[in-house]
């Protein structure tokens, strides 16, 4: 019995670091990466699911949202290559600004600045994106 209790304690301690709060910047980067992957696979449902409620209110269905991104955010919709740049987390991780450096399929360079917001359930959603036609940091 004592050996079983000791084994349970060791297992609990081994997984204790995983119980820490998520890193807001890592959560934001994962969210952005998953949305870009959805765009690359033309998966409107998945791409739309990453948008914050305010964005979904502006674009009340996945097809309208998908068409808007395709038309107005082409570098994000189908990037050639991208890498994460600077990030800034404010209000104890409630809002994260994440720079994404993008080379479009036309070889033009862009900087996308994402605003990621923590939702009441603790998840993160994309609340907006600003795209600038260069790779110079705008000092987030």
**12, part of any domain:** no
**105, part of any domain:** yes
Which of 40-49, 55-64, 126-135 shows the lowest per-residue confidence on average (mean pLDDT)? Answer: 126-135
- Describe the strand order of the beta sheet including 109-118 as a list of residue ranges: 79-90, 95-104, 109-118, 124-132
Contacts of 34 (CB under 8 A, 6+ apart): 46, 50
* Size of the chain, expressed as the number of residues it contains: 140
Q: 8 or 27: whose pLDDT is higher? A: 27
Q: Taking the CA atoms of the chain, what radius of gyration do you get in angstroms?
A: 19
**2, part of any domain:** no
**38, part of any domain:** yes
**16, part of any domain:** no
Owning domain of residue 45: 23-132
The predicted-structure confidence for 7-26, as pLDDT tens digits, reads as follows 444 444 444 444 345 799 99
Number of structural domains (the chain) is: 1
DSSP annotation of 51 reads B
**3, part of any domain:** no
Which of 18-32, 106-120, 123-137 shows the lowest per-residue confidence on average (mean pLDDT)? Answer: 18-32
**8, part of any domain:** no
**124, part of any domain:** yes
Provide the pLDDT confidence category of residue 92 given band limits of 50, 70 and 90: very high
CATH number at residue 89: 3.10.450.50
| Dihedral sign, Cα of residue 84, residue 90, residue 91, residue 92 | positive
> By the 8 A CB rule, do 97 and 23 touch?
no
């Amino acid at each position: 019995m004592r050996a079983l209790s000791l084994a349970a304690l060791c297992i609990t301690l081994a997984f204790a670091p995983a119980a820490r709060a998520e890193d807001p910047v890592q959560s934001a980067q994962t969210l952005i990466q998953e949305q870009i992957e959805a765009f690359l696979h033309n998966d409107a449902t998945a791409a739309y699911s990453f948008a914050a409620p305010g964005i979904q209110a502006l674009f009340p269905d996945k097809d309208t949202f998908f068409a808007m991104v395709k038309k107005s955010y082409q570098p994000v919709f189908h990037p050639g290559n991208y890498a994460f740049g600077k990030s800034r987390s404010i209000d104890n991780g409630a809002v994260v600004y994440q720079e994404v450096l993008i080379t479009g399929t036309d070889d033009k360079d862009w900087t996308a600045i994402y605003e990621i917001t923590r939702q009441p359930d603790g998840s993160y959603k994309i609340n907006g994106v600003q795209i600038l036609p260069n790779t110079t940091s705008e000092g987030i």
